[in-house]
Structure 1
C-alpha cells in the first residue's frame, strides 16, 4: 500500500474556495494518488480514516483546524504546492494604489461610500458574531461559512428580517446581486427572472439553463440549505419573494429547494 502523509494547522481557517484550489494543487503534484485539504470537522476526519489515514494523528483536530492528506508520491512537495496556493497566492493589481486593507466593519463606515453588503467567511464558531456586526451596520449579509449553529441562524435571520435585510446562508455559496456574482456564481445575462435558492449548485444550474434559453436573471438570492426547514421557517425565502414582488425588474420568480 502507498505511503500516507498528514500535515495539520491548528487554529487556521480558509474558505472552501481556497481549500478547493489547494486540493487541486496537491493532486496535480506528480505521483500523488489521492489527496485533499479540508477543515477538521468530524465528517472530514471520518472520511480520512476511511481512506486509510492514521486515526491517532487525526485525533484532537477540530473544525477550527486545517488538515492536508496525501497518498503516494512526494508528499512534502505536494504539501508545499498546496501551501503556496493557500497562504502565498495574491491577486495581481495594476498599481499599488488599488490595494488597501480594511481591518474591521467599523472602518468601512468611514469610507466615502460605505458598503451595504458583507460577505462573511470565517470559522462557523465565529461567523454569527461577525454577521450580527454586519446586520447592526445595516448591511445585507452573504454568510459563506459552514457549521453555523441552527439557533444562531434562526436568531440572525429573524434580526435581519426585522430590518428588511438579507441574511443569505449559512453555507450560501451562490448569489448574484445587481449583476455581481458572489461566491460560486456563473456569468450569465441579466433579465427578468428572480431566483431564490436553498442550494448553491441548484442556483448555478438554474442560472445556466435560463441563460441557455435566451433569458436572464434579475437577482439570485441564496437563502441557505436550512432556510426552508420547520425550525427556520423560510424567513429569508419569504423576504426574497416579497422583494422580487416589489422589484419592477422581476417578472417571474423561480424557487430552488432541497430537503432541509
Structure 2
C-alpha cells in the first residue's frame, strides 16, 4: 500500500502531468502555464511542437525529448533528476499525457520509487467529443486507437459490438475510411455513431448518424484532421448461446474451433471471456497442463 500527499514538502522533486490544448491555445489553463514556467525541465513528446506552445506563452523552461521510442532509456535519467530534487513537467503534443500518448510507463516507474506525481486537469479530445455527441454520455468506455491490422481490428470490434455503453475511439484521417467500413461490416449499418474532427479548431465538425450514413459521408467528402469516433451503446445485444455450460473447458474450446474459422489461441481467449477465467488458465487446461 502507498499513500501520497501531493502538496506536502518532499525531499525529492515532483513530476507534474500537464495537459496541453488539443487545438485552441486559449484552452491552456493559468495553472498549466505557471507550472511549465516554474519547473526545472519539461519532458516533451516532440520538442519542436512543444516549443511553439512555450513561445506563445513566453515560457523559457528547457525541454528534454520523451516519446514512445526513447521511453526505456529516458526513464532512469528522469527518475535520477527527480531524486535530486528537480521538479519536472511531462507533456504530450496535445491533450492528456498517458491517454493514447506517452507517459504511463514513467508514471508507474515514479510511483514505484515513491516519487510524487501530480496531475493537472485539462483538455481531452474524447470527453470533449462525448459531451457534444448527443449520445448517452455515461457510463462510457474509452478505447483509443483500434489495432491497425484488419483482422485484429475486426476481432476487437466483434468483442465490443455488444457493449451496453458508448465507446470512444481515436483514429487518424488516413485510416478512418477502413475503420468505418470494418465497423459497418462487423456491427451493421444501423448503429448510431458520431465523428468529431478538428476539435476546438476553426474547422471543428461533428458528423452524426448511423454507420451507413457516416460511411456515405466519408465517400463523398475529403477526410482531413484527427478524428474521435463515438460508437453508441448496443440497445439490443446478442445473447450468447449458453449451451457450452454443459461442456468441459477443453470441449468448449474444441466446439468453438469446429464451428468458427478461428485459431486455437483465439478460441481459448473466447472461452476464457465467456467463462470468466484467465486466458492462461484455459490454455493450461486445454493443453493438459492443468486439470479441468
- State if a TM-score over 0.5 links the two structures: no
Q: Kindly indicate which of the two structures has a greater share of residues assigned to helix.
A: 2
Higher relative contact order (CA 8 A, sep 6+): 2
TM-score (norm 2): 0.27
The structure that has the greater radius of gyration is 2
Q: Kindly indicate which of the two structures has a greater share of residues assigned to strand.
A: 1
